[in-house]
Amino acid sequence: EPPNGWIKSVLGLRQFSMRGLHRVRAEFKLVCLALNLRRMCSMQSG
């Protein structure tokens, strides 16, 4: 639940901007990448 909340509140992703299963999957992968990069940065600094 915390990753979903972060994606919705911080990134503002409440619905996908792309249409089509392939494009939606690609967009979600980019969002997950952003979340993972944020986690990596916080782990290295703290």
What's the whole-model pTM score? Answer: 0.70
Angstrom distance (rounded) from CA 25 to CA 10: 20
Res. 41: pLDDT tops 80: yes
- Residue range 24-38, pLDDT digits in tens: 999 889 988 988 998
Give the span between the Cα atoms of 33 and 7, in whole angstroms.
11
Per-residue confidence at 46, pLDDT binned at 50, 70, 90? low
Q: Are 30 and 36 in contact (CB under 8 A)?
A: no
Sign of CA dihedral 23, 25, 14, 41: negative
Count Cα neighbours of 39 within 13 Å in the Cβ-side half-sphere. Answer: 10
